[in-house]
Amino acid sequence: MDFITGEIVGILLFFIGLYGLMTKKSIIKTIMSMSIMESGIYLFYVTINYVPGSVPPIGQQGDAPFVDPVPSALMITAIVIGIGVTAIGLTMFMHYKQKHGITHWSRNRN
């Protein structure tokens, strides 16, 4: 099972989210697909420079090497921005529902 690594799963998650974004008609489903895409990108960044046997970058460095702290610091800010994007999308969805009664992108029932 060598080919299942974090980077590959991150790329696959991104494309699963992209597929949902293209095919789903419900607006909430689209926002959820977007957050799955974001999660794939976070996973890709966190695992891109991972060396097995390393330790979290806290305190003095011992024998074991540190994990790269740069993607961690970037991804923390990205997660908080992601919840902001989700909140904006859901608020706009609720506004449209209240004003125009729209919950789906198309009225085509087929």
Partner 1 sequence: MFQTFLLIALLVFATFSVFSDNIKRSVIYLGVFSLIMAVTYLHYNAPDVALAEAAIGVGLSTVMYLVATKKVSVYDICYVNEDVEIFNDDSITEIMNSVVRPLEKFLERTEEVEPQLAYTNHEIEKIMREDNHDMFIHRKNNLTYIYGESTDAVFQDIIANLNDVITDITDIRVIYRDEVTLDDGNA
Partner 2 sequence: MTETHKIIDIVRILFAVLGAFVVLFLFLNHAEQIDTPLFDYFTSDFIAETGAQNSVAAIYLNYRVFDTLFEALMLMVSVMEVINVSWANKHAEQYRYEEDELNRKNNSEIVIRMVGIIYPFVILIGLYVIINGHVSPGGGFQGGAILATALITRYLVYPNFDLDLHVLEKIEKLLFLSIVTTPVLYVFMQLQPANTDLSNQIYMILMNSLIGLKVFSGLSIIFYRFVFYEGR
Is residue 11 a contact point for partner 1 (CB under 8 A)?
no
28 touches, from partner 1, partner 2, none (C-beta below 5 to 8 Å by class): partner 1
According to CB under 8 A, which one of 60, 62, 67, 88 is a site residue for partner 1? 67
Q: Nearest CA to 39 among 92, 83, 73, 91?
A: 83
**Can you tell me the distance from the alpha carbon of 89 to that of 85, in angstroms, rounded to the nearest whole number?**
6
Q: Which DSSP state fits 6? A: H
Q: Which residues, at least 6 apart from 97, have a Cβ–Cβ distance to it below 8 Å?
A: 103
Neighbouring CB atoms inside 10 A of 106's CB total 8
Which residues in this chain contact partner 1 in the complex, by CB under 8 A?
1, 4-6, 9, 12-13, 16-17, 19-20, 24-26, 28-29, 32-33, 35-36, 39, 42-43, 46-47, 50, 54-56, 67, 71-73, 75-76, 79-80, 82-83, 86-87, 90, 93-94, 97-98, 103-104, 109
